[in-house]
Structure 1
């Protein structure tokens, strides 16, 4: 008789998890003055949905949802024409420009579907990454982030500052995916959890990791903009960067304490220096060191500190008013549920 070693126990092997069935896919694209790129974007996305349906990756009912963020050109008219021509195209028009993050949130909270994929309308996000994102979802992931493998299409300034910003957020304790913007897939479960977050100042790439669901990463190569101009100039990028810092960490407030301590030490050092000049040399200018240096130094630190505190107080003030983040003025297409409501 063969003896079994006590450390060799034949446990049953865990069964492989079954793949999820093909989901109903909603593609969410915020638009602001995108009339130049919209025809080509629609052509490619309609072809992509048809292919995903044939391949069994997307179920019937999958659709494209354009969110017009108060455009001043012909964007909404084009969306209406495409919605009439293609059953898979729908449109949501905001009553005024509310910014990219609010427009994106509107699409996520309004569109139906088992999974929602958010992407830009300028065709810089690689559409071929979407099938891989769907495969990752079917393997069991609730959130799939599309991350730029390389930033070859960016200028040196934009690439270096963006990467430095992601590293800075990590140092401040903000959980973000490096080199990830808003090209992501979210399951219906993740979307309904996101609905419970009522933050006024949105920074979705920092908010989504707070949901805590199983997340995967898919790399892609970002292309150049197909047509038109970037809707994120330096001013808006800086505003979004500051939003990411002040919305997820109180580190700048704590930094004020550190700056105050350094100023105090610096003031003591200046006092010692001025005293030494007075005692050991004849070069001292009466009253200069004791008046001018502390006045400018402390005045600058105080103004900086008040500005940072004021920024946080402004966010608290705006959040307590609980104003709606957007209003839906009009919709077109057949697949929008509850589209006549203003969604807070």
Structure 2
């Protein structure tokens, strides 16, 4: 009798509409997953609403895929999405949003630096009528002063040169309404800087401040080079200011060259000072060569983005999806994925 009641209860949970989806991209986060799952499910269970966890494995090489499979097999509220390789966090976030079915979608990292206990407050703000709830970092415990300072300055520089107003000191931790998620799905670019895309859609937004915690376990996968590449991606994705700066640098260099030439002519004609030749020539060649290479490099970065966009490659490829304990290959695909291949789901743009 108890088994029958439990079975009917499980069937009811499967058929009811999902109100909240929590999307978590994962890359080699095996150590922190059990703690994350325990804290997160405790918070979600207390809300007494239909929810789902969408865990996206971005080509992990540790025990992350195995742990995700076990969670999806044991908990019908867990959807595990396995990408075919490491496509990067922006692509993993895109995959998670594509597979989320909730009326509201919360994005958070697995390292518990973003406290799950803030979810009720985020839901309260969403129910008050906004489409995007951004979580602004009031403090960042466990991070070096250089990382805090550089992040602080970067967001302000990006806002100063960007065409859209990107909230400062915010990461990926935020809530999106279904309207916001559907709007994001209309953005087809392959070079995806998600923080900028979140701001670009321009729907009603509110900001909640919080104190970011240190990592609960494991180590960060973001070194300074990766962070620099992400920052440069954000600048070149949402601003043409670097090209304008290069043009301005070229004009100033040309003006300097003209003035320097006039000075040499004046010295030779009126002061009787012969042209010095080698030192001045090498200096001018070095300056001009540096400016030209910098300008060509910036131009090449923008051309490269156009090149990748014209290839029309998918943002990501999915190796498998486990939903309610079963592989997507074992169950009929949902309506959202009915047009995709059965063996390998692909997000085409």
Partner Cα separation in structure 2 for residue 248 and residue 49 of structure 1 = 35
Asked whether the equivalents of residues 73 and 324 of structure 2 are also in contact (C-alpha less than 8 Å), the reply is no
* Counterpart among 37, 45, 64 of residue 40 in structure 2: 45
Residue aligning to 1:85? 74
Say how many residue pairs are matched: 316
Please report the TM-score for the alignment, with normalisation by the length of structure 1: 0.87
Contact 2:106 2:174 (C-alpha < 8 Å) held by counterparts? yes
* Aligned equivalent of 2:53: 64
CA-CA distance at 1:327 after TM superposition: 0.8
CA displacement, residues 108-143 of structure 1 (integer Å, 9 cap, x when unaligned): 111211111000011100212211110001000111
Aligned to 1:76: 65
* 1:236 alignment partner in structure 2: 226
CA distance in 1, matches of 2:82, 2:264: 65
The TM-score normalised by the length of structure 2 is 0.86
Structure 2, gaps ≥5 residues long: 1-16, 329-333
TM alignment of 1:194-343, pairs within 5 A: 194-275=184-265, 278=268, 280=271, 286-288=276-278, 291-334=281-324, 337=334, 338=336, 340=342, 341-343=345-347
Does the aligned pair in 1 maintain the 2:23–2:108 contact within 8 Å? yes
Judged with a 3 Å threshold, the aligned counterparts in structure 2 of structure 1 residues 325 and 133 are, in CA distance, closer, same or farther, namely: same
Deviation at 1:321, TM superposition (A): 1.0
How much has 1:228 moved relative to structure 2?
0.8
Q: What root-mean-square deviation, in Å, do the aligned CA atoms of Structure 1 and Structure 2 show?
A: 1.9
Contact 2:54–2:99 under 8 Å retained in 1? no
The answer to whether the 8 Å contact 2:18/2:52 transfers is: no
Give, in angstroms, the shift of residue 99 of structure 1.
Answer: 0.1
Structure 1 position 323, deviation (Å): 0.4
2:158 maps to which residue? 169
The structure that is strand-richer by fraction is: 2
